C-alpha cells in the first residue's frame, strides 16, 4: 500500500541525514561490505553513529545485515532490492556533480 505523501519527503525521511547516502553508496559500489570496511570508506563517521545509521537503514529495509557466527565476529551488509532501486538516483547525482563546479 502506498501513501500519498510527497515523494521527496518519502525519500528524505528514509535516506536523509549526513551519512545514509554515503553509506548506501559505499555498499552499492562493493556489493557487500563488512562493518569495519564501511567505517574506513565513509570517512569521518564514528562507530557509534555508523551503527545507528545502519540500524536505521535496516529498519527501513534498505540493507541486509548478515551475521556470521565466527570469532572474531564478522558481519556483512548488502543492499536490498528496494535500495538497488536507488541506482538511478545515484547515477543522476553523479552526473550532476560532474557537470557542476564544486
Partner DNA sequence: ATTGATAGTTACCTTTTGGTAACTTGTTTC
Partner DNA sequence: GAAACAAGTTACCAAAAGGTAACTATCAAT
Interface ranges with DNA (CB under 7 A): 17-19, 34-37, 44-49, 51-54, 65, 67, 71-75
C-alpha distances in Å from residue 37, one per residue of 23, 28, 69, 82, 87? 11, 13, 18, 22, 21
Cβ closest to DNA, residue 39 vs residue 90: 39
List the beta bridge partners of residue 68: 74
Contacts (Cβ under 8 Å, ≥6 apart) of 34: 74, 75, 76, 77
Shortest reach from residue 13's CB to a second copy, in Å: 9
Decide which of DNA, a second copy, none touches 10; Cβ closer than 5 to 8 Å per partner kind. Answer: a second copy
Cβ closest to DNA, residue 67 vs residue 99: 67
Amino acid at each position: 500500500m502506498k501513501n500519498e505523501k510527497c515523494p521527496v519527503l518519502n525519500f528524505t525521511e528514509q535516506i536523509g541525514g549526513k551519512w545514509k547516502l554515503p553509506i548506501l553508496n559505499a555498499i552499492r559500489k562493493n556489493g557487500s561490505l563488512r562493518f569495519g570496511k564501511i567505517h574506513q570508506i565513509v570517512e569521518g563517521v564514528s562507530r557509534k553513529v555508523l551503527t545507528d545509521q545502519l540500524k536505521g537503514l535496516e529498519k527501513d529495509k534498505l540493507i541486509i545485515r548478515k551475521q556470521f557466527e565466527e570469532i572474531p565476529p564478522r558481519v556483512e551488509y548488502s543492499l536490498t532490492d528496494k535500495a538497488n532501486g536507488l541506482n538511478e538516483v545515484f547515477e543522476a547525482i553523479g552526473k550532476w556533480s560532474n557537470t557542476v563546479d564544486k
